[in-house]
Homo-oligomer: A and B are copies of this chain.
Amino acid sequence: MINKIVMLPGDGIGAEVIYAAKEVLEAIAKKFDRQFEFSVHDIGGIAIDRHGTPLPTETVEACKKADAVLLGAVGGPKWDNNPSDLRPERGLLGIRKALDLYANLRPVKGFEKLLHASPLRQDIIQGSDLLIVRELTGGLYFGTPSERRNNGEDVVDTLAYSRKEIERIVDKAFQSAQLRKKHLTSVDKANVLESSKLWREIVEEKKVQYPDVTVEHVLVDACAMKLITNPTDFDVIVTENMFGDILSDEASVLTGSLGMLPSASLAEDGVGLYEPAHGSAPDIAGQGIANPIAMILSAAMMLRYSFEMNEEARAIEKAVEDVLNEGYHTKDLKSHDGTLVNTNEMTALITKAI
């Protein structure tokens, strides 16, 4: 069986890190006798430049036919002043919607060796290991109306959800918790928003189906505090799209290893999209110094979630840990000891460790 992988390098360091992941996947194919077939398509700024749209139809079609999608990153100053529909982010939002990628999974786990780079005190961050499950295709991001009114004097955006949309992400979160420490924190603003009240009701309804999982409800403002003061209290966090955007980025800097964090965006039955939690980092693009590990670990998530290749995924994760434990690090990790390496060197080390 051949697994067809669409690669969307995108902008900035996107291409550098995605080809690193490809190398690692090729090493996996060799070692475990698997067959991966890669094709490359445009998204984001580069797609605007080449095709006049951040999401060419051809890209969507290719993704729909693929078994999984790897995405580098989109965006950069070049397109920052474009009109809305010609912005790189539109490509990202568009592909999420087109593939119905409703569940964004973002694990945040520190590497022992790198915790010194955490902005938090060691005693606070030590031992933290959480997973944010963010709803990705609803809420303020896609609700209508979203428009100016009265000659531009007023403006509205709409936070809309259907019961079904909430149910499926809540189910996914409970299931994710069952595979981990069996604790779910549902985050909402039920003291203000109607949508949050429905969200909370659905979590309460669903929890009887997952009696092995303990559930707590935390308000989004309280959660933003608790992530900093008590990060080890969390296991799985589930929340709606905009809250998830903010909280997952907040959580991503806690361990000090943003360049190490993967993510998966999953559909109900269909293709999954895997991308690093970091952005396109235009400031260091083209220098060959980007940390490829977040992208490589995203490829590992792809093996696990889309291809059910657990052993292969584990082999990548283990290789990454080993290389870090040997003291190798890229520039972003700001290590004082050990050996500084560039993107290619880090990739080669990981490939060799596999």
Q: What residues of chain A have their CB less than 8 Å away from a CB belonging to chain B?
A: 84, 87, 89, 93, 118-121, 124, 140-141, 143, 146-148, 152-164, 189, 191-195, 197-198, 220-222, 224-225, 227-229, 242-243, 245-250, 252-254, 258
Nearest chain B residue, comparing its CB with the CB of A201: B152
Q: Which of B158, B163, B222, B248 is A249 in contact with, Cβ under 8 Å?
A: B222
Nearest chain B residue, comparing its CB with the CB of A156: B160
Interfacial chain B residues near A248, Cβ < 8 Å: 221
Interfacial chain B residues near A221, Cβ < 8 Å: 245-246, 248-250
**Seed contacts A148-B194, A224-B249; 19 additional CB < 8 Å A-B pairs:** A89-B192, A140-B193, A146-B193, A147-B194, A152-B163, A153-B162, A153-B163, A155-B160, A157-B159, A157-B193, A157-B195, A189-B242, A220-B246, A221-B249, A222-B249, A224-B247, A225-B249, A228-B250, A243-B246
Q: Which of B93, B119, B154, B157 is A228 in contact with, Cβ under 8 Å?
A: B119
Interfacial chain B residues near A220, Cβ < 8 Å: 245-246
**Bound state CA distance, A118 and B121, in angstroms?**
8
Instruction: Say whether B195 contacts A156, CB under 8 Å.
Output: yes
Instruction: Say whether A250 contacts B250, CB under 8 Å.
Output: yes
- Quickly give the copy total for this chain: 2
Q: Which of B148, B228, B243, B245 is A198 in contact with, Cβ under 8 Å?
A: B148
Instruction: Say whether B224 contacts A194, CB under 8 Å.
Output: no
Instruction: Say whether A143 contacts B161, CB under 8 Å.
Output: no
Given A221-B245, A246-B221, A254-B228 in contact, is the A154-B161 Cβ separation under 8 Å?
yes
Interfacial chain B residues near A229, Cβ < 8 Å: 119, 253
Instruction: Say whether B141 contacts A192, CB under 8 Å.
Output: yes
**Bound state CA distance, A141 and B195, in angstroms?**
12
Instruction: Say whether A156 contacts B159, CB under 8 Å.
Output: yes
Instruction: Say whether A225 contacts B252, CB under 8 Å.
Output: yes
Instruction: Say whether A156 contacts B158, CB under 8 Å.
Output: yes
Interfacial chain B residues near A246, Cβ < 8 Å: 220-221, 224, 243, 246
Instruction: Say whether A154 contacts B147, CB under 8 Å.
Output: no
**Bound state CA distance, A143 and B148, in angstroms?**
14
Interfacial chain B residues near A89, Cβ < 8 Å: 191-192
Q: Could you tell me the distance in whole angstroms from the C-beta of A83 to the nearest C-beta in chain B?
A: 10
**Bound state CA distance, A197 and B85, in angstroms?**
13
